[in-house]
Amino acid sequence: MIFCQACGTTNREGSRFCNQCGARLSETADIACPRCGAPNAPDAQHCQKCGLDLARGRDDVWEGPLPRVDVPEEGASEAGRRALGTPEGGPASRARPYGLPPWLDSAERPEEEASPESGAGPLPADEEALAPEAAEGEWSGEAIPIEPVVGVPYRARERSEQPPPPEQREAADLFAIVSDEDVLASRRPSPSEQKHEAERRPEMWLRLLVALVLLVSTMVPVLLRGGPISAEGSIPPPVAAAARAVEELPPGATALVAFEYDAGLAGDLQPVAEALIGEMLGRGLYVLAVSTQPEGAALAEIALDRIRRARAEPGMDARVVNLGYVTGGQAAIRALAGDIRAAISSDWEGRGLADIPALSGIGGAGDLPLVVVLGRDVLAVQAWIEQVGAPYGAPLVAGVPALVEPALVPYQTSGQLEGVVGGVAGAAAFERLTGRPGIGVRSLGAVRAGAWAAGLLIVTVNIGFALGRLLRRRGR
Amino acid sequence: MNLLRLLWESTSITVEGLAALVALLVFGALILALTLRARLVRPFTVRPLAAAERVRGVLGRAMETGEPLHVALGIGGLGDVSTADTLAGLALVSFLADRGALAEVPVRVRLAQPTALVGALATLQRGAEGAGYPEAYDPVQAAFVAPVPLAYAAGTAEALRSEPPVANAMVGAFGAEVLLPAQAGGDQPQTVQVGGTSDPSVLPLLLVTTDSLLAGEEIYALGAALGRADHTGSLAAQDLARALLVLAIVLGAVLALVIA
Amino acid sequence: MRRILPALVALLVGSVVLLDYFLENPVLNAAGRFLLEGAIVLAAFALLLGLWNLLLVHERQIRRREPGWPASVVILLSTGASLALGLAGWGSEALTWFYRFVLFPLEASAGALLAFVAVSAAARAWRLSSLEGGVMLAVGAIVLVGTLAPQGAALTALGPLRDWIVSVPAMAAVRGLLLGVALGIMATGLRVLLWIDRPYE
């Protein structure tokens, strides 16, 4: 701690300018008070805290006038300030002297007013009213020194014991000088600074290790184009059910695909979208894409673009249509279920709906023979079950991230969903089943390798932790 | 009269629809009756929720130190499929806004849907007015971060790092992106983290990153556990309905076995 | 009146939309559709409020030089840029380009970060310190190995065990959760409809 010689504010070790008044701080060491240990400026006459005469160093009763102590108001809560009736942001929010309450003052401090060497200067105008009255009564005994900090609100926030690293300190000092408002608040040590560096180190190493392992394990299969990890494996029943639902549709029928996910999950869902839509087009179906999420329409366009280019057949534009984004969340799904034309007036490219052959003879999404929901989470799929599946009986297939798949299986076994395709693994299984290997099969190697590496890492790290504990216990 | 008859005659309903409507009406009546009992006689006792106790404890600490409390309301809104989760989060905001205004504890709410923002602002304002300090309400206490889940998560995580709160409660609708704010909060040594969502696939993620978890339906009990007497009635109705459902499922299973 | 009117509106609108969901009636369905369209318009207005809030929050952040304020500058600038892109009628072409080459790669990398966070959190949390932690670790390992074991390997024997875990205990837990959640959602909705909860006040 360094005390400012101009205003007495406590400043953090190493500060070059005072937090409060901006005065340059002396770099010489502080003098500790022999009685209370409080640090004082090198040329201080009396201790800031207990009033001991530092020059004489005698531990005797202080006879002079009570020292005035400037206490920064930082510890005062807003509620306390309110109770005191002082306005926020006014002069009160800077350091200000606190005296004794008037009743105590008039009873026990008869000599202070008389003393010409009073430590305090003239009171500011707004505190004139709070100034103690002249002494009354018959007090003539020896003055007992009164702890001058009566009435100072409890200061709960302890400053950090651990000084922050020098570069942070310098930045903070510079910042404090540049923006001289509310400096005290900005100089609070952030809790992350309080945490011991030593505690953080194993955590940091663990994170580094995880990052490295995941990176290597997913990059190697990508670079080796699948490498040693095969895409073979059993087909999960929900995926087989989804494939059956597509297979059962007659050529020329129209299916709706709802893109209810965002770009962050595209890595897991784009393969599902491509696998399902590719199979639908291969079976001669018409596909309508729609979204009630802001990003969904653009993601649909990207996926459809890839599919159109991959198939490179004439008339693809008419067979796959992106109807774009519909605002209104669940209300929009409800509107779409009843009547697509009531919810949408044109497609993503601005074509009128009358010009879209896939839409001819179709009223609402609820009348369609198949609705595919590519949902980011359970709720996104649930919204379509509630608004389209349950009231209209439209068959639903869900495509979701691998993480979400287990939570949807109950819907599938109860018949509310025809099938569920979960993530890259689901897409790969779907592609193998339908005989159209695509991006799902190609990325499965990386996904599997990553999952293996993650699983092994978790098990190893935990065995390591357990062994470490065992050894330490043995050692004790 | 004729009009009514016309209306009646032109109305139709499926068997499943009728069954669901009847079940809903019965459930509604149950809630109404039990809520009236909770209000007029005495509130039902609520099993203490660990997360609610945690929030109470942290609130005490925040009152002493004046450090902020943070609520991440998730990616849900009002009026969509996640309404119930968002309302559960708002019950927590309401509790904190009320107590926080009294002791001048800053309460920050971060959300991803404009409709949830409307609800959060109204809740904060009502809390401040209810506590008798209408001036404690500040319209930037609730911040609309971004409508896209990952952007919301990243923005919230950043805010948790730059202004670490004493408590970070993540109650509402979330997807996997909740990991970002959960980790950011977990990195702050003094931040107590409470999580709660109804999505079963997100619960494991919250389990490994928070100090206290409200699993599934527990989030709907949060209001009652935080002292909302009028919520205890519907909670009791929920319990009763669940007991009946479980009974029906067990009976159905036994019957199916016997017939087979 | 100030308290009763919103409550009455909420009750009326809620009942009409609810009945519209169950009943088939031309008048009711038309009323329901009208209210839904109103809800969509209201949601759009809420979006404007969201934008206003965004400006307010970040303007203050910058003005007070709060920690992280440079990020606020970036946010305001990019909000303005994408608004201009959408409003100035440069068309879906420019917006698609922006989505495809700026926004989506950014989001996808944040999404990839989730895997990393999940693994490091799991590595820390699944300590073998308690019975629960041990069970979690063992079940996790079985499911992982059962799912990922290559065909023909000795480890495939774990496949049926994994299937049983996923389809019996895990499914039972998920079902129980979903059941409770469904009841909770119903109760929450009915509470609003029955005037017990008033989020609209």
Please measure the distance between the N-terminal and C-terminal CA atoms of chain B and give it in whole angstroms: 52
pLDDT on residue A183: 36
> Which among C21, C119, C175 has CB closest to A458?
C119
pLDDT at residue A290 tops 60 = yes
pLDDT for the residue numbered A470: 84
pLDDT of residue A178: 47
User: Does residue A372 have a pLDDT over 90?
Assistant: yes
Residue B52 has pLDDT above 60, yes or no: yes
Residue A92 identity (one-letter amino acid): A
**A131 and A101 Cβ atoms separated by less than 8 Å:** no
Q: Which residues pair with B167 in a beta bridge?
A: B69, B192
> Which stretches within chain B are classed as H helix?
2-9, 15-40, 50-65, 83-103, 114-130, 149-162, 179-186, 203-209, 222-225, 229-259
- Say how many Å lie between the first and final Cα of chain C, rounded: 12
Q: How far apart are CA A94 and CA C63, in angstroms?
A: 21
Q: How far is CA A301 from CA A129, C21, C95, in A?
A: 73, 32, 12
Question: Whole-angstrom Cα distance, residue A282 to residue C187?
Answer: 46
Contacts of A199 (CB under 8 A, 6+ apart): B189
Phi and psi at residue B16, to the nearest 5°: -65, -40
pLDDT of residue A1: 60
Lowest mean pLDDT: which of A78-87, A213-222, B50-59?
A78-87
Burial B172-210 (b: 16+ CB within 10 A, else e): bbbbbbbbbbbbbbbbbebbbbbbbbbbbbbbbbbbbbb
Q: Encode pLDDT of A208-231 as tens digits.
A: 888 898 888 888 887 876 555 555
Q: Tokens 């948790």 appear where? A: B160
* Phi and psi torsions of A310, nearest 5°: -65, -35
Answer yes or no: do C123 and A210 touch at CB < 8 A: yes
Look up residue C201 and give its two tokens: 């006040």
Of residues A331, B220, B238, B142, the one with CA closest to residue C39: A331
Distance from CA of B48 to the nearest CA of A (A): 28
Each of the 201 residues of chain C gets a pLDDT tens digit; together they read 667 887 888 888 888 888 888 888 888 888 888 888 888 788 888 888 999 999 999 999 899 888 778 888 998 998 888 888 777 665 567 777 888 888 888 888 888 888 888 888 877 766 656 677 677 777 777 777 766 665 555 566 677 777 788 778 888 888 888 888 889 888 888 888 887 777 655
Q: Which among C46, C68, C191 has CB closest to B115?
A: C46
A382 to chain B: which residues are within 8 Å by CB? Answer: 81
Q: Where are the alpha helices (DSSP H) in A344-438?
A: 378-384, 390-392, 405-413, 423-434
Q: Which residue has the tokens 């499914």?
A: C171
DSSP letters, A190-223, are PHHHHS-HHHHHHHHHHHHHHHHHHHHHHHHHHH
Contacts of A242 (CB under 8 A, 6+ apart): A276, A397, A418, A419, A420, A421, A430
Question: Cα(B16)–Cα(B45) distance, rounded to whole angstroms?
Answer: 35
Window B:80-109, CB contacts with C under 8 Å: 83-84, 87-88, 90
CB C184 within 8 A of CB B217: yes
Tokens standing for residue A457: 């890492």
DSSP label at residue B159? H
Contact of A265 with chain C, judged by CB distance below 8 Å, is answered with yes
Cα separations in angstroms, A140 against A103, A119, A272, B205, C62: 18, 22, 93, 73, 59
Interface of B with C in 195-234 (CB under 8 A): 198, 200, 203, 205, 207-209, 215-217, 219-221, 230-231, 233-234
Contact present, A32 and A44 (Cβ < 8 Å): no
For A110-168, what is each residue's pLDDT tens digit? Answer: 444 444 444 445 555 555 555 555 445 555 555 655 555 445 444 444 444 565 666 66
Give the nearest partner residue to C56 out of B140, B176, B235, using CB atoms. Answer: B140
Which residues of C are less than 8 Å from A182 in CB distance? 64
- C200 φ, ψ (degrees, to nearest 5): -85, -5
Helix (H, G, I), strand (E, B) or coil at B146: coil
Q: Does A342 lie at the interface with C, CB-CB under 8 angstroms?
A: yes
Q: Which two tokens stand for residue A263?
A: 């770009």
Question: What CATH number labels A237-437?
Answer: 3.40.50.10160
Per cent of chain A over pLDDT 70 is 62
- Of the listed ranges A419-428, B76-85, C16-25, C147-156, the one predicted with least confidence: C147-156
Report whether pLDDT(A373) > 90.
Answer: yes
Which residue is closest to B186 within chain A, CA to CA? A192
Cα(C110)–Cα(A265) distance, integer angstroms: 10
CATH number for B50-226: choose from 1.10.287, 1.10.3470, 3.30.70, 3.40.50. Answer: 3.40.50
CB nearest C186 (choices: B27, B140, B208): B27
Phi-psi region of A146 (alpha: psi -120 to 50; beta: other; left: phi over 0): beta
C19 contacts in A (CB within 8 Å)?
A: none
CB-based contact (8 Å) between A177 and chain C? no
Q: Which of A78, C135, A439 is nearest to B128 (CA)?
A: A78
ipTM: 0.84
Whether A92 and chain C come into contact, CB under 8 Å, resolves to: no
Phi and psi angles of residue A343, each rounded to the nearest 5 degrees, phi first: -95, -25
Joined together, the tokens standing for residue B221 give: 């009990």
Secondary structure letter of residue C55 according to DSSP: H
Query: Cβ of B138 under 8 Å from any chain A Cβ?
Result: no
Q: What is the pLDDT of residue B232?
A: 86
**Domain extent listing, chain A:** 203-223+454-475, 237-437
Query: What single letter denotes the amino acid at residue A321?
Result: V
Q: Which of A183, A176, A178 is nearest to A93 (CA)?
A: A183
DSSP code for A367 = G
For chains A and B, count residue pairs whose Cβ atoms are closer than 8 Å.
Answer: 83
**Dist CA C46 CA C43 (whole Å):** 5
The answer to whether B92 and B225 are in contact (CB under 8 A) is no
What is the Rg, in whole angstroms, of the alpha carbon atoms belonging to chain A?
A: 37
A406 touches chain B (CB under 8 A): yes
Q: Could you tell me if A401 and B176 are in contact, meaning their C-beta atoms sit under 8 angstroms apart?
A: yes
Beta-bridge partner residues of A400: A422
d(Cα A345, Cα A335) in Å, to the nearest integer?
13
